[in-house]
Structure 1
Amino acid sequence: MKFIVSSSSLLKQLSGINGVITSNPVVPILENFLFEINDGILTVTASDLQTSMITELEVEAKESGSIAVPAKILLETLRNLPEQPVTFSIDEETYSIELSSDNGRYKLAGENATDFPKVPTVSDGYSVNMSTGVLGAAINNTIFATSNDELRPAMTGVYLNLSETNTTFVATDGHRLVRYRRVDIAADTDNTIIIPRKALNLLKASLPAENSNVTLEFNPANAFFKFDNVKLICRLIDERFPDYENVIPADNNNLMTIDRSEFLGSLRRISIYANKTTHQVRLKITGSELQISAEDLDFSNEANERLLCEHEGEDIEIGFNAKFLVEMLSNIDSDHVVLQLSAPNRAGLILPKDKNDNEDILMLVMPVMLSNYV
């Protein structure tokens, strides 16, 4: 079997799906890309058994065939080759692969394609369409709040609640929660799924800059994303997601509206002086003034700043993890944000003041108990 392909085109496609491959796969064959040629189309698959990515590109080929190609050595070779046509010659009996370029020849050992695990298909599933821009926004707004705790697998992914009127994306790690709702994505029937973080990170990295359509098909076991010439199939997390609606406080009488970038800048500076374990910052709202302070008693470090804000309600003092606040504020586009509070021991809500008509975003953060009230 022989085919000719542009080195830069192949490198671009392989780089897009290479993130699936792990350094210590369950089965050694998964260190390879699966190359399949049919009618002049090269289909490349990368998999780690939980997640698979497939991409296609046109090549010059007179015959069909398949081979498993070592991913690492092939990528390193292509990265160091200038743009030029590369000829792949494959011996289907010994699985040896020879690359010929203007610079020289390179031989590497492939493996039998039949040993490569079969990629699952989604049959008897449901489907929903959305734009790559909307999917990218949903991932960016939620993925940072997922948990790393493998003992609570449901929280290591993003929960999707599809309904006939909207779609809600939710992520939580127990300390913070993000609910991102889109009214411009709707399904024919109500369904819920939990998509693993790794699959969403791979999607995020491979979504094209220009807006196009994404088709999401899913059944109880797998989800299948398709856009442009890329497909991603992932195994869904089969666990029960926490009842997040009950955690969101309803009676928040303290409302503070503040310039997002000023608040964010201040938090970044003040957090340098916070305790390195708790990252605790103290927010003290009195009238139309917010005082942000932090101290690290172990090193005698402390800092405080004052900002102007709009405030409705009683004066309040509350502690938060600065890392969580910084991450949340960094993922909001609005110029001003509203912080809704009820009591120093209850969760606070961060909402954008300016909203896109199609989206509704709510971020919740649990307080850090203050040791003393000054």
Structure 2
Amino acid sequence: MKFVVSSTEILGHIQAISRVISNKNTLPILDNFLFELKNGELIATASDLETTLITTIPLDASEGDGVIALPAKILTDTLKEFPEQPLTFEVDPQTLAVKLSTENGKFSIPGQNGDDYPKNPEKGQDSVVNITVASEVLLKGVNKTLFATADDELRPVMNGIFIELNNNDLTFVASDAHKLVRYKRLDGRSEVESSFILPKKPASLLRNILPKEENPVLVEFDDKNAFFTLSNYKLICRLVEGKYPSYGSVIPTNNPFKLTIDRVELYNTLKRVSVFSNPASNLIKFELNNNELVVSAQDIDFSISARERLMCQYEGEALEIGFKSVFLLEILQNISSSNVVVALSDPTRAGLFLPYDNENADEDVLMLLMPMMINV
């Protein structure tokens, strides 16, 4: 088994899949990449049993077929140091040693039997749902919602992105019980009504590999696993089991008070004022009245406070409401329009944060943040 490959080509592919490898692997073989040479193609795999990422690497030349497992860290660290050049990999089938030859040197890397590498999950024959999604739609859905997922050991369903398919739209939802994001795409439709919960790790892997993808992505899932097929990559992941909470019921429907404000201006004000908030609560206060927003914070323990006034458009009664500044900043960071609309009803009910105008007519973005009690 022998192949010749460009150093930068192989490095780019294995760096992308190396993010799957866990520091706490239960099986030592999972600290390796699986290389399979078949019909003149090199297929590289990385896995942590829950998530598997497979890539096809173009070769300059190859001889024979076979499989070998190679240590991921040694291989990645070595390839990082090479300038662009052809590399020759030669595998000794008896000893499983791999000779890596360059124009000026030779490197010897110990391999392991590729047959010991765990097999990839198979799709369920009867229960598979599939949909073809534009790569830009999938990337945007993951980007808009990933930050709002939880880290809750007691409620694992909250630790992923809920993806809902139906005839009208494709919906991505994430929530950590303090904030909630719902991102709908009207140009992503499915003939079958179905849903699944995509865990956080494969979602962040998709976020890394999707920007380079130009073709639509085939998404297939059954009750246990999801399979994402891209041009040069295939991602397989175990889904989060359980029923996602009814997110629609927590979105308030009657929000008569509307605040419209410059998003960047509000963001920068919050960055300054939040320095003066109590580190334990991160509480900042909004005071709204007559097209004016006053943002304030204080930390009584250190006798510090801050208060800043902003001009805005406000329709509604005078209102005081508290929010956690960390969550508020995250929400504003993930809204892309220049102005943001905040829909409110009273200090005890969630505030809705909406883009003033969507970049795309087919998208519908809604972000929700629970308020905090203001100590008067």
Superposed displacement of residue 259, structure 1 = 1.0
Report 1:72-111 matches (<5 A). Answer: 72-111=73-112
Aligned partner (choices 330, 335, 340) of residue 338 of structure 2 = 335
Output the TM-score relative to the length of structure 1.
Answer: 0.97
* Aligned-pair CA distance for 1:21: 0.4
Judged with a 3 Å threshold, the aligned counterparts in structure 2 of structure 1 residues 304 and 211 are, in CA distance, closer, same or farther, namely farther
Ranges of 4+ aligned residues in structure 1 off by more than 4 Å: none
TM-score for both structures, normalised by structure 2? 0.97
Q: State which of 357, 360, 365 in structure 2 corresponds to 1:361.
A: 365
- C-alpha separation in 2, matches of 1:343 and 1:208: 41
Q: Do residues 160 (structure 1) and 183 (structure 2) align? A: no
**2:118 matched to 1:117?**
yes
Letter in 1 for 2:317: E
Which of 206, 209, 220 is 2:209 aligned to? 206
Q: Once the 2 structures are TM-superposed, how far is the Cα of residue 333 of structure 1 from its aligned partner?
A: 1.1
Q: Alpha-carbon deviations, 1:128-159, whole Å to 9, x = none? A: 11222111111111000000112110000000
Q: Does 1:51 align with 2:51?
A: yes
| 2:318 equivalent to 1:315 | yes
* TM-aligned CA deviation for residue 346 of structure 1: 1.0
Counterpart CA distance in 2 for 1:57 and 1:285 is 57
* Partner Cα separation in structure 1 for residue 155 and residue 262 of structure 2: 36
Partner of 1:36: 36
- CA deviation map 1:203-250 (0-9, x unaligned): 101113463311111111111111121110101111111111111111
Secondary structure of the structure 1 residue equivalent to 2:301:
coil
SS at match of 2:302: coil
**Which residue does the alignment assign to 1:261?**
264
Q: Any unmatched runs of 5+ in structure 2?
A: none
Q: Show CA shifts across 1:274-323 (max 9, x none).
A: 11111111000011000000111222221111111111111100000111
Shift of 1:7: 0.9
Counterpart CA distance in 1 for 2:281 and 2:215 is 42
Amino acid of the residue matched to residue 299 of structure 2?
D
Which 10-residue stretch deviates more, 8-17 or 85-94? 85-94
One-letter amino acid of the counterpart of residue 319, structure 2 = I
Q: Secondary structure at the match of 1:249?
A: coil
Corresponding letter in the other structure for 1:8: T
Amino acid at match of 2:72: A
- Determine whether 1:126 maps to 2:129: yes
Structure 1 position 185, deviation (Å) = 0.5
1:186 aligns with 2:192: no
Q: Which amino acid aligns with 1:77?
A: T
Deviation of residue 121 (structure 1)?
Answer: 2.8
The residue type paired with residue 21 of structure 1 is: I
- Taking only the aligned residue pairs, the percentage that are identical comes to 45
Unaligned runs of 5+ in 1: none
- Check 1:209–1:265 CA distance in 2 against 1; reply closer, same or farther (3 A cut): farther
Q: 2-side partners of 1:345 and 1:371: how far apart?
A: 13
Aligned: 1:10 with 2:15: no
Partner residue of 1:170 out of 170, 173, 178: 173
TM superposition shift of 1:102: 2.0
- Separation in 2 of the partners of 1:195 and 1:269? 36
| Residues in 2 aligned to 1:335 and 1:87: alpha-carbon distance in whole angstroms | 52
Give 1:65's aligned residue.
Answer: 66
Count of residues paired in the alignment: 372
> Which SS does the other structure have where 2:162 is aligned?
strand
Superposition RMSD in Å: 1.1
- 1:2-40 Cα deviation digits (max 9, x unpaired): 111111110011011110001121211000000000111
